[in-house]
Amino acid sequence: MIRRITICACAALAILTGRPDAMAARQKGGPVETGPGTAAAARKFLAGRWSLVSFDVLPPGQAPLRVNGSGALVYDAFGNLDVEIRVDEATASALDRAGISSTRGRISISGRTAIDMQARTLTYFFAGHAPLGAPSGPLALNRPRYWQVAGNMLTLTTRGDDGQPLSVARWHKSPAHAP
């Protein structure tokens, strides 16, 4: 009972001193930064449809694998991401041996991303997949994707614990979505 009275008294004091506005601004995260070099600018650039140009898997202790297939990446302004890559049966078997599973030659994932501008990484949070835990294969969700942009080309690289690339995917922004 005393605890409830104390909480009510603190809330009343906060209302009387104008603190709710300050607390609300802090809870909302304050104003969103915009302009070049911000996460908002990166999300705006990434928004749209991207076509797979190349996808290389470099599993430790195995021969590099050039993925034969096609793919699309769709990213929206809110950080939602859909990825679908289609490969032939032989490539699907090779990917499976490298630790990347597919369903009848289809790798399909949907979820959200978090952008780290300083580290230049994207971290994926896909529906039905836990982002934490031990790595499992070159595309493990707990591994961030390091990104580079050159014109309308986006390169996403997944690195192992030793810093060496495990996968490199190059995506070209569809003309209808290019800046």
Q: Record the tokens describing residue 155, joined without a space.
A: 């390169």
- Kindly state whether residues 74 and 129 are assigned to the same domain: yes
Is the domain of 111 the same as that of 139? yes
Q: Does the reported pTM lie above 0.85? A: no
Same domain flag for 114 and 156: yes
Residues 143 and 106 occupy one common structural domain: yes
Which segments of the chain have a pLDDT < 50? 1-28, 134
Co-location of 73 and 110 in the same domain: yes
Q: What is the CATH number of the domain that holds 139?
A: 2.40.128.280
Q: 97 with 74, same domain? A: yes
- For residue 13, the enclosing domain spans 1-31
Residue-by-residue DSSP string for the chain? -HHHHHHHHHHHHHHHHTHHHHHHHHHHTSSPP-STTSHHHHHHHH-EEEEEEEEEE--TTS--EE--EEEEEEE-TTSEEEEEEEE-HHHHHHHHHTT---BTTEEEEEEEEEEETTTTEEEEEETT--SSSS--STT-TTSPEEEEEETTEEEEEEE-TTS-EEEEEEEEE-GGG--
Q: Are 24 and 148 in contact (CB under 8 A)?
A: no
Structural domains counted in the chain: 2
Residues 157 and 133 in one domain: yes
48 and 24 within one domain: no
Question: In the predicted model, what is the mean pLDDT of the chain?
Answer: 76
Looking at the structure, tell me whether residues 56 and 126 fall in a common domain. yes
In tens, the pLDDT along 6-55 reads: 333 333 323 333 333 333 333 445 555 666 778 788 888 888 999 999 99
